[in-house]
A and B are shown apart, each in its own frame.
Chain A
Amino acid sequence: MSISAGTVGAPIRSGLAWVRSDSGRRLGGWILGALILALMTGPSGNDSAPTAGFTGSLLQPRVLVFLGLAVALWVLTNIRRRYGERIRAASDHVTGTPSRLLRTRRARYGLYVAVLAVAIAYPPTLSGFWQEVLVDQIGVFVLLAVGLNVVVGYAGLLDLGYIAFFAIGAYSGAYWTGALPVHPPFHVNPFWAIPLAVLAAMLAGVVLGAPTLRLRGDYLAIVTLGFGEIIQIVATNLQGVTGGAEGVSGIPHFSVHLAGVKYQWGLSNLPYYYLLLGFVVVVLVAFRALENSRVGRAFTAIREDEVAAEAVGINILKYKVMAFSIGASTSGFAGLLEASKISFVSSQDFTVQMSILVLVLVIFGGMGSLPGAVAGAAFLQWVPQILRQHPLFGYQPQDLYIYLGALLVVMMIFRPEGMIPSRRRRREIVLAETGVGTADAISGSSDPAVRP
């Protein structure tokens, strides 16, 4: 009796020991996460069927997909823990191959020209729906991501209210073209509204940045989060000025009257797509030059070690405000373009989720990397539209942010540097993992609270 109990007990005991082990706990964590994800994105219950939320998500075959993903990720983490070094080397070899091939300037420019050629030639063959996605979902968000990349990627500042500047740009555009209930001293064409909207967003960036960028990173995140909310609430409540939540329509489209040439961008998407493409290319070229300039290197120096940057004469506050307002201007520019394109602006569009979304695009693509920001934004904005058309495993558009959150968690574990990382950022992450990057704050912190 006692012998048989022992033989039965041993596997149970070893099973329990395994569950308590690190590996077992990790599997438990992944499964728990998968079940929560399945539950959150599944059907919800109601009065007549209060448990429908649980039975609908946990007893349907759909949950198996999530469990399968959890187990797959668990296996991946185990593999990574055991062969991490070799996998890193191998993946560096694979992901490094394109950059080795693109080492020469000619090869790089060749690739850029090829991508641009596709971007010019391909869209006319698309259906109307996809052309609209290209402008409203991809083009505008690429511009937003590229702008936030300056703030988050280059300067390392966490901006959670980025969409507020988008709103400021949109409302400035609406104001100067005469669409708001309040009228400007003179009406202008949207083209002339560009500098005005960009300037307004930049000023807002300076006004918000100058006092808050003196503080440490965490405070900046909180202040910008609050600023985003303030702008949206003000826009909603100031109905006589902004049109509130119902919004205002009738923002004129872009038009040209120059030397006999007369052209108006209308509601059709393709002309707007090319206009946007032109602006994006200009912004990309400008930001590439910025990255490789004195200013870009100063951003990197500040991100790496503020104390050392200050010691070589870099005015930290000035450069942080600069990065912050460059990002803000880009956001404002995108806001004006979008408002003019859909000819409508409403405070309901400027939710905190939008700010988070743009941040996710930048992190997914690779912080500090222009190709990463562009590709990340294009890919992450394209996938939900595909899923909307071909719902996979009961995908519902309103669950997008739950999936994005899960994606971000997985990204941070497996590839924190993003899909197309910048060279500098990638080095930083590798250095931090090997313990070199941690700077001691003893010999002089730039944190005002530590100063005597």
Chain B
Amino acid sequence: MTVSVEPVLSAPAVNDPIVSVDGVTLRFGGVVSLGGVTLRQRRGEILAVIGPNGAGKTSLFNCLTGVYTPQEGTIEFRPSGRPAVALVGRRPNRVNRLGIARTFQTSRLFNALSAYENIRVGVESRQHTGPLGAMLRLPRTRREERQSRATTEELLGFVGLTERADELASSLPYGDQRKLEIARALATQPELLLLDEPAAGTNVTEKQALEELIRRVNRERHVSVLLIEHDMRLVMSVAERVAVLNFGLVIAVGTPAEVQHDAAVVEAYLGRPDDATPSTTASGGVTSGDGGVGRGQSPEPEDSEG
């Protein structure tokens, strides 16, 4: 063991977290999906959540965004310049209004609407025109429409879909659909963006474009990004820190390099070494996402970040 897990797990509490997940437990009947997840994300960072299939990554997202209500634990969101709010028990639309936007594992665009209209729905969710204002086309309605048109076009340009503005969302190539979903999420002016496997099903060029886009979202728009991704190359290059989830528990948090050589992580992905020397396993590192899940024994529940 060249890299000990100790420095990672005993790392001091994150300063200025944008979101703090504390002991979140989610059960479906007898099946434990999340078994007390504790995780903190720094403001402005790109944090990746990785783990084998079924580890609870999407469940964590669904708890964060109000789709699921965990039975135990708290989730606290600290928007900048406003007091912290608890997220558990809030409806998805309320969570979005607080400043957390998301994309879905299989993209859920409004298929019969154009790319332009998809983004505009997101932009307009932050506006105030009511039915009467819309029917009478009051001055405020007109002003808001000018604003939403401009913002929508700006976002189309940001993700590079200006040329395809009038195409139906469903007719876009897969990579463009993923970009469009990110643009729609950005349209709601989030401080934290949750991306659920944005690179799934994309080809190499599209992956590179996405990687670049995620960085630009983070740097140019100052949005913190929480990322679920199976593509390790993408995760290791884009994420500042990585949290590893297995069987509903965070088993390691750290920089990509630290996590890659963490014994518990290697075990979760490749299985527990029986009689091989530990060093061989550790040097193997984590290379593939979907690769062999250690089904042999359940990992020890290790605390992360206290």
Interface positions of A (Cβ within 8 A of B): 286-287, 289-290, 293-298, 300-301, 304-305, 307-316, 322, 326, 424-425, 427-428, 431, 436-437, 439-440, 443-444, 451-452
Question: B26, B65, B104, B120: which has the most chain A beta carbons within 10 Å?
Answer: B104
Query: Judging by beta carbons under 8 Å apart, are B121 and A440 in contact?
Result: no
Query: Judging by beta carbons under 8 Å apart, are B170 and A431 in contact?
Result: yes
The chain A residue sitting closest to B168, CB to CB, is: A427
A296 CB contacts on chain B under 8 angstroms: 134
Query: Judging by beta carbons under 8 Å apart, are A322 and B131 in contact?
Result: yes
Which of B62, B96, B144, B168 is the one whose CB lies under 8 Å from A313? B96
When A and B form their complex, what is the total count of cross-chain residue pairs whose Cβ atoms lie within 8 Å? 137
B108 CB contacts on chain A under 8 angstroms: 305, 307-308, 311, 439, 443
Query: Judging by beta carbons under 8 Å apart, are B121 and A297 in contact?
Result: yes
Main secondary structure of the interface of A (DSSP, over half): helix
Shortest distance in angstroms between A156's beta carbon and chain B's nearest beta carbon?
12
Query: Judging by beta carbons under 8 Å apart, are B129 and A316 in contact?
Result: no
Shortest distance in angstroms between B117's beta carbon and chain A's nearest beta carbon?
6
Interface positions of B (Cβ within 8 A of A): 26-28, 58, 62, 65, 67-69, 71, 91-93, 96-97, 101-102, 104-106, 108-113, 117, 120-122, 124-127, 129-131, 134-137, 141, 144-145, 148, 168, 170, 184-185, 187-188, 196
The chain A residue sitting closest to B58, CB to CB, is: A443
16 new A-B contacts, CB < 8 A, other than A297-B124, A308-B109, A444-B68, are A290-B134, A293-B145, A297-B120, A300-B112, A300-B117, A301-B121, A310-B96, A311-B185, A312-B101, A326-B131, A427-B112, A431-B112, A443-B104, A443-B105, A444-B67, A451-B69
Q: CA A322 – CA B133 in complex, angstroms?
A: 13
Q: CA A309 – CA B117 in complex, angstroms?
A: 13
B112 CB contacts on chain A under 8 angstroms: 300, 304, 424-425, 427-428, 431, 437
List 10 A-B pairs, Cβ < 8 Å.
A295-B130, A305-B108, A305-B110, A311-B96, A311-B104, A314-B93, A436-B111, A443-B58, A444-B67, A452-B69
Given A294-B148, A305-B108, A312 contacting B121 (CB threshold 8 A)? yes
Query: Judging by beta carbons under 8 Å apart, are A295 and B134 in contact?
Result: yes
B104 CB contacts on chain A under 8 angstroms: 307-308, 311, 443
Which of B102, B120, B125 is the one whose CB lies under 8 Å from A314? B125
A295 CB contacts on chain B under 8 angstroms: 129-131, 134
A452 CB contacts on chain B under 8 angstroms: 26-28, 68-69, 71
Which of A286, A313, A314 is the one whose CB lies under 8 Å from B136? A286
B111 CB contacts on chain A under 8 angstroms: 304-305, 427-428, 431, 436-437
Question: A311, A436, A452: which has the most chain B beta carbons within 10 Å?
Answer: A311
Given A294-B134, A307-B108, A313 contacting B125 (CB threshold 8 A)? yes
Query: Judging by beta carbons under 8 Å apart, are B113 and A304 in contact?
Result: yes
The chain A residue sitting closest to B103, CB to CB, is: A311
Q: CA A300 – CA B71 in complex, angstroms?
A: 33
Query: Judging by beta carbons under 8 Å apart, are A286 and B113 in contact?
Result: no
Closest 6 CB pairs of A and B: A293-B134, A444-B67, A313-B96, A286-B135, A313-B125, A427-B112
Given A294-B148, A304-B112, A431-B112, A310 contacting B106 (CB threshold 8 A)? no
Given A298-B125, A431-B112, A440 contacting B106 (CB threshold 8 A)? yes
The chain A residue sitting closest to B126, CB to CB, is: A313
Shortest distance in angstroms between A201's beta carbon and chain B's nearest beta carbon?
15
Question: A293, A296, A315, A326: which has the most chain B beta carbons within 10 Å?
Answer: A293
Query: Judging by beta carbons under 8 Å apart, are A300 and B124 in contact?
Result: no
Which of B27, B69, B110, B196 is the one whose CB lies under 8 Å from A308? B110
Query: Judging by beta carbons under 8 Å apart, are A298 and B121 in contact?
Result: yes
Q: CA A287 – CA B135 in complex, angstroms?
A: 6
Which of B105, B110, B134, B168 is the one whose CB lies under 8 Å from A301? B110
Given A427-B112, A440-B106, A311 contacting B101 (CB threshold 8 A)? yes
A444 CB contacts on chain B under 8 angstroms: 62, 67-68, 92
Shortest distance in angstroms between A222's beta carbon and chain B's nearest beta carbon?
25
A304 CB contacts on chain B under 8 angstroms: 110-113
Q: CA A436 – CA B27 in complex, angstroms?
A: 32
Query: Judging by beta carbons under 8 Å apart, are A312 and B135 in contact?
Result: no
A294 CB contacts on chain B under 8 angstroms: 124, 127, 129, 134, 141, 144-145, 148
Q: CA A313 – CA B101 in complex, angstroms?
A: 9
Query: Judging by beta carbons under 8 Å apart, are B134 and A310 in contact?
Result: no
Given A286-B135, A293-B129, A311-B102, A443 contacting B93 (CB threshold 8 A)? no
Query: Judging by beta carbons under 8 Å apart, are B122 and A312 in contact?
Result: yes
The chain A residue sitting closest to B170, CB to CB, is: A436
Shortest distance in angstroms between A306's beta carbon and chain B's nearest beta carbon?
10
Given A308-B104, A452-B27, A289 contacting B137 (CB threshold 8 A)? yes
B127 CB contacts on chain A under 8 angstroms: 294
Query: Judging by beta carbons under 8 Å apart, are B62 and A443 in contact?
Result: yes
Query: Judging by beta carbons under 8 Å apart, are B65 and A311 in contact?
Result: yes
The chain A residue sitting closest to B196, CB to CB, is: A443
Q: CA A289 – CA B131 in complex, angstroms?
A: 10
A290 CB contacts on chain B under 8 angstroms: 131, 134-135
Given A289-B135, A301-B110, A452-B27, A315 contacting B93 (CB threshold 8 A)? yes
Question: B26, B91, B131: which has the most chain A beta carbons within 10 Å?
Answer: B131
Q: CA A238 – CA B110 in complex, angstroms?
A: 47
Query: Judging by beta carbons under 8 Å apart, are A313 and B91 in contact?
Result: no
B168 CB contacts on chain A under 8 angstroms: 427
Shortest distance in angstroms between B181's beta carbon and chain A's nearest beta carbon?
9
Question: B58, B65, B121, B144: which has the most chain A beta carbons within 10 Å?
Answer: B121
A312 CB contacts on chain B under 8 angstroms: 96, 101, 121-122, 125, 184-185, 187-188
A314 CB contacts on chain B under 8 angstroms: 93, 121, 125
The chain A residue sitting closest to B108, CB to CB, is: A308
Q: CA A107 – CA B130 in complex, angstroms?
A: 30
